[in-house]
Amino acid sequence: MGVKQENGTLIKPSTEEETPNELDLKVKKYLRGDGANLEVLQDKKLKGQLAVREGLYKQSANAAAKAEKWLMPSEGGYLEAEGIEKTWRIKQESIAREVDILSSRNQYDIILPELGPYTLDFTSSGRYMALAGRKGHIGIVDVKQMNLIREFQVRETVRDVVFLHNELFFAAAQKKYPYIYNRDGTELHCLKEHGAVLRLQFLKNHFLLASINKFGHLHYQDITMGSMVGNFRTGLGRTDVMQVNPFNGVVALGHSGGRVTMWKPTSSSPLVSMLCHHGPVSALAFHSNGHLMATAGKEKKIKLWDLRKFEVLQTLPGHANTLDFSQKGLLACGTGSFVQVLGDFSATQNYSRYMTHSMVKGYQIKELVFRPYEDVLGIGHSMGWSSILIPGSGEPNFDSWVANPFETSKQRREKEVRSLLDKLPPETIMLDPRKIGTVHSAKKKEKATKQEREAEMENAVEAVKGINLKNKTKGRNKPTKKLKKKQEIIAKAKRPYLDQQMKEEEEIAKKKQKVSQEVELPKSLQRFSNKKAAS
């Protein structure tokens, strides 16, 4: 049935829906804003260039939208509050009642009060977890199947633990030295050159194990060759705040003077030294894109930094002993027995409170680590370790070529060989890795000093004096003619240096003349100034 207008005509309703389809919405998400208005331009050449560029932008947006539609079928979701309800007031018990059985298994507490506090680390796929208690308890857990693979007691202090390139090897920072173990708990190496290490980090693209010991020495060791790549003294005292930027492989250290320094293995001095806080830096974390850094200080402030401009984006009140970013950009802060998760839901890098969780009174949080590809936050504390659900924290789609939680032993071997072939040298670690492969612009030569110019002229004269002249025909081989020829060659060698010296003297004289003319003279003497300049 149509709609009747005033003139009596009927308009049939359209059979097709006016709302855009799913693919158009995805394309709109990847477009770079509204296109340029080309009709206003008068320059045909510029108009053609911009039209080609706009076409390329549309093609790339279509390709990205199709890849997301077919290769990333799952979508992440956050908690959504209704009415006056707040997301940070939703408890873990309420979430556990609503989720499926497999997700509810990721919510647990392991109580080992005599062996804590615990530090945790996950593999890049999120399948395996390494845990280390301060009193010497070390274990490997398959968190997907909830199976304990291996646990053992080293009977000395363990300060940190980190996986190497896969779950078969991990390193533990013990009382005197760091040790490397295999999956069965067999000790493979004792790295005595590192000393009493406080924190460990592994650079997976470069196969480098980085450590900071209690004397403030930073070490880089290549685990494939066993050689020490770098050994530097920071000069800023003892620190146990250390993180790796996933974007460029730069190691950041937080110091007691409020500074954050960034290092690479081929430089004995820090690449960047930032004064981030007025008190000691207590925690540090990097976003997965590498451009956002979060720091926490003892003056009870948490700051978010833009590393492209090295300026503060946001300052939040609160204290944190540990910080960690999730794959989707959520920021977890832990202090005492309280966990707070912040989120950027407006995509303007303006973080606000998303979820909170209170541990049992008396539990002291040691470390917070988000589990990759799962909405799970691991908590290492003084009484053991725990796991809670944080909806929307993990990437819902994994790439099996990058991190496969279900990989077989054959796939793991192939991936290990491929990663060794693609291993990056330490020289590729820099603040902006996009500069690799580019060409440096030619620098302007600095003017040589007078002494350097005289030395160059003397060297040129000495080189000319050693030339042996050819013997010529009778009458043209006289000593006087040979001497005259040598003098001409020496004068020819001196000429470019003397010409350059004369040009510089003339430029200096012109500058002096201009300066003297610019000096304001009294009116009574101004009529003589032109005559002096002319003379």
- Taking only the tens place, the pLDDT of each residue in 455-476 is 888 878 777 777 777 776 666 6
Q: Where are the domains of the chain?
A: 119-233, 450-462+479-534
Enumerate residues 6+ apart whose C-beta is below 8 A from 52.
Answer: none
What is the C-alpha to C-alpha distance for residues 368 and 120, in angstroms, rounded to an integer?
8
Per-residue pLDDT tens digits of the chain, which is 535 residues long: 444 444 444 444 443 343 456 777 778 777 777 777 888 888 888 888 888 988 888 888 888 888 777 777 666 788 888 888 899 999 999 999 988 888 889 999 999 989 989 999 999 999 999 999 999 999 999 999 889 999 999 999 999 999 999 999 999 999 999 999 999 999 999 999 999 999 999 999 999 999 999 999 999 999 999 999 999 999 899 999 999 999 999 999 999 999 999 999 999 899 999 999 999 999 999 999 999 999 999 999 999 999 999 999 999 999 999 999 999 999 999 999 999 999 988 877 889 999 999 998 889 999 999 999 999 999 999 999 999 999 999 888 887 788 888 889 999 999 999 999 999 999 999 998 888 877 766 555 566 677 777 788 887 877 777 777 777 666 667 777 777 888 888 888 888 888 888 888 888 888 777 666 556 667 776 666 655 444 4
Mean pLDDT, all residues of the chain: 86
Residue 10: per-residue pLDDT:
41
Residue in 59, 64, 53 with CA at minimum distance from that of residue 26 = 64
Residue at 317: amino acid letter: P
Strand 108-111 with 259-263, pairing: unpaired
Residue in 259, 325, 242, 314 with CA at minimum distance from that of residue 290 = 325
Say how many Å lie between the first and final Cα of the chain, rounded. Answer: 102
Q: Can you point out the beta strands (E) in 21-146?
A: 108-111, 118-122, 128-133, 137-142
Are 322 and 46 in contact, with CB atoms under 8 Å apart?
A: no
pLDDT in tens, 239-254: 999 999 999 999 999 9
Are 133 and 112 in contact, with CB atoms under 8 Å apart?
A: yes
Are 120 and 128 in contact, with CB atoms under 8 Å apart?
A: no
What is the C-alpha to C-alpha distance for residues 147 and 132, in angstroms, rounded to an integer?
16
What is the C-alpha to C-alpha distance for residues 473 and 471, in angstroms, rounded to an integer?
7
Residues in the chain: 535
For residue 304, give the H/E element and its range.
strand 301-306
What is the C-alpha to C-alpha distance for residues 397 and 374, in angstroms, rounded to an integer?
10
Are 115 and 136 in contact, with CB atoms under 8 Å apart?
A: yes
What is the C-alpha to C-alpha distance for residues 293 and 314, in angstroms, rounded to an integer?
11
For the domain bounded by 119-233, which CATH number is listed? 2.130.10.10
Are 208 and 202 in contact, with CB atoms under 8 Å apart?
A: yes
Are 303 and 312 in contact, with CB atoms under 8 Å apart?
A: yes
Is the model's pTM score more than 0.95?
A: no
pLDDT in tens, 38-55: 888 888 888 888 889 888
Residue at 489: amino acid letter: I
What is the C-alpha to C-alpha distance for residues 161 and 163, in angstroms, rounded to an integer?
7
Are 30 and 61 in contact, with CB atoms under 8 Å apart?
A: yes
Percent of the chain that is helix, strand, coil (3-state, to 5): 25, 30, 45
pLDDT in tens, 499-529: 888 888 888 888 777 666 556 667 776 666 6
